[in-house]
Structure 1
């Protein structure tokens, strides 16, 4: 599932290509009623966590959650006939976009949008984020910090990669209870998430390895993975830790694979 930086990149792209002008919106697949927004001016596009919002005006916002299989594909004119199961098509003055396979694609009223935002935790990539709200949920919980970071009601936008990497970067064992994370440490974790995720928006991939540990500095081979980016522990189970050479551990937690270094992140 795409992590939060991907949705913010999409919001930024769609603002640049479509905002401020009328947009033709349709559903070639027939599973999305686009009549409420078709032909209207897109006021803005924004993201909150793993949710994307195309705001067209009073009581008309298209909400998209990509889920595991959803994808946007972007094209320049001329427009061609739909291929495959296109849930939503947007056509602007110079570009057009197809959406396939999302978990959610729907038009929401302003009240419904507000309720959805209220269910989500603060997003490190949003200017209106309040990290204090996230800390309140963490400080009173006995659940592992690795679970809390992935709970979108606590922190919105953090996925499996950012979860594993930010905990490694600060030497925190993933099973540490939330109420063992003090405020000073949370402030450091939040600041690092902001830094890492902003970089993800900028470059379009997740890089978490500090400059002194990059391949060109250490002489190791670059990472070869379809996700791209240089990481410390994510999807490196059994491989030597980049700092101490201990084999990276893996376990299942709440239905997702969890990666950490037993030496650099002691219990």
Structure 2
């Protein structure tokens, strides 16, 4: 399931290429015909993300709410502005040394994503990319309009850009009141609202509950955007046993969790990668950007030695989701 950084990146793509333009909306699959008819021809006014949900506002006070869920993805195609997303090898986003040196060659990760680019303004290019948890190039970038391939729930088009939505959990047209009700049920998102108020909301929500902190971090009513990867990595970075009841988490640790989420989310939005290891030298950072196996402390490392203490990383299920953790470092 895409975590919060991916949804914010998708919302920013819509802001750059669709907001301020009339949108042709259709439903090639046929499961969004009524909603498409309501939106078709309207100008897109705004695009925003809160946690794992995205909200597209259209003229006439109507909104499209999208939750990608486990299988959803957006395909973007056309002459669109694409982020120069990632600091170069000597300028790692979110770390103290950010010199911004440009790199001669791109680095592609194991999903085919270009994980290194020079810092700078967005650049306009003919592309066809898929944005879900992992972004990747797709063939037929020169064909316009792009062919409909597979089950496309909704297609949004301008004269230059196309966005195809596949496999979402939610794709619904809603009123401003319905959108506000959804947002009000969500926990704080570091990129939305007042930073100080967000931190207080998170700390209070954690410390009044007897539920395990490993469950609370996945509860979108407690905090927005955290999924399996960030949950495991944040708990390890905090040295916190995932079974600790929220009300037993010291206030300073709870605040540290929130501030770590603020930092990690920003890195994820800027780089497109859930980079949770810091302090890496240039070669190590390049390897981490190119491979998930070198990017995380504990996630997806069940049975392997802890990178810090050598203890075998454990894997268990917590509320039907995989949880990775080190029983020594997270006592």
Q: If the TM-score is normalised by the length of the shorter chain, which range does it land in?
A: over 0.9
2:77 to 55, 75, 78: 75
Inter-partner Cα distance in structure 2 for 1:154 and 1:52: 18
Contact 1:213 1:242 in 2 (8 A): no
In the TM superposition, residue 214 of structure 1 has moved relative to its aligned partner by 8.2
In the TM superposition, residue 42 of structure 1 has moved relative to its aligned partner by 0.7
Partner of 1:115: 181
Cα pair distance change 1:216/1:224, threshold 3 Å: closer
1:158 to 226, 233, 238: 226
Inter-partner Cα distance in structure 1 for 2:289 and 2:187: 33
Cα pair distance change 1:125/1:228, threshold 3 Å: farther
Partner of 1:242: 307
Matches within 5 A, 1:248-259: 248-259=313-324
1:11 equivalent to 2:11? Answer yes
Contact 1:89 1:99 in 2 (8 A): yes
Inter-partner Cα distance in structure 1 for 2:222 and 2:282: 32
In the TM superposition, residue 157 of structure 1 has moved relative to its aligned partner by 0.4
Inter-partner Cα distance in structure 2 for 1:176 and 1:215: 36
Contact 2:275 2:289 in 1 (8 A): no
Cα pair distance change 1:135/1:12, threshold 3 Å: same
Structure 1: unaligned runs, 5 residues or longer? none
Cα pair distance change 1:140/1:213, threshold 3 Å: farther
Inter-partner Cα distance in structure 1 for 2:258 and 2:186: 16
User: More relative contact order in 1 or in 2 (CA 8 Å, sep 6+)?
Assistant: 2
Partner of 2:326: 261
1:180 equivalent to 2:248? Answer yes
In the TM superposition, residue 128 of structure 1 has moved relative to its aligned partner by 3.8
Partner of 1:85: 151
Inter-partner Cα distance in structure 2 for 1:107 and 1:216: 45
Inter-partner Cα distance in structure 1 for 2:205 and 2:37: 40
Partner of 1:65: 67
In the TM superposition, residue 127 of structure 1 has moved relative to its aligned partner by 3.7
Partner of 1:45: 47
Contact 2:46 2:58 in 1 (8 A): yes
Cα pair distance change 1:214/1:244, threshold 3 Å: farther
Partner of 1:146: 214
1:190 equivalent to 2:258? Answer yes
Contact 2:206 2:254 in 1 (8 A): no
Partner of 2:239: 171
In the TM superposition, residue 162 of structure 1 has moved relative to its aligned partner by 0.6
Contact 1:139 1:180 in 2 (8 A): yes
In the TM superposition, residue 131 of structure 1 has moved relative to its aligned partner by 2.2
Partner of 1:101: 167
**Structure 1 length as normaliser, TM-score?**
0.92
In the TM superposition, residue 183 of structure 1 has moved relative to its aligned partner by 2.4
Cα pair distance change 1:31/1:204, threshold 3 Å: same
Q: Which consecutive segments of 4 or more residues in structure 1 shift more than 4 A?
A: 212-215, 221-229
Count of residues in correspondence between the two structures:
263
